[in-house]
Amino acid sequence: MSLVLWAAIAIFSAAIIVGLVRVATAKDLGSRAIISDLVYFSAIGILTMIAMLTDMSIMMDVIFLSSLLGILATIALARILTRGHR
């Protein structure tokens, strides 16, 4: 089971690296916002895998709260980019 978790950590790490490279080449703010969400939630995925490897239950609470904040930040940024239009 730990081999699967380490493989997932490697995949999430690769997603973060690709996302950071893509941020450098993105032309508009919308693309950068989506890529930043990818990097943020990939980091949360890595933290989740580490919490599963170490059996830290308190870490799951931190992950749930940070996921909620990430979703709220995404919604706020979408509202800013659309200037409040729905």
Taking only the tens place, the pLDDT of each residue in 16-35 is 999 999 988 888 877 888 88
Long-range Cβ pairs for the range 50-55 (8 Å, 24+): 50/9, 52/5, 53/2, 53/5, 53/6
**More confident of the two residues 1 and 9:** 9
**More confident of the two residues 71 and 17:** 17
Burial of 27 (0-12, 13-18, 19+ CB in 10 A): exposed
Give the whole-angstrom CA distance, residue 81 versus residue 61: 30
Provide the 10 A C-beta neighbour count for residue 53. 13
**More confident of the two residues 10 and 60:** 10
pLDDT score of 4 = 94
pLDDT score of 9 = 95
**More confident of the two residues 79 and 54:** 54
pLDDT score of 86 = 66
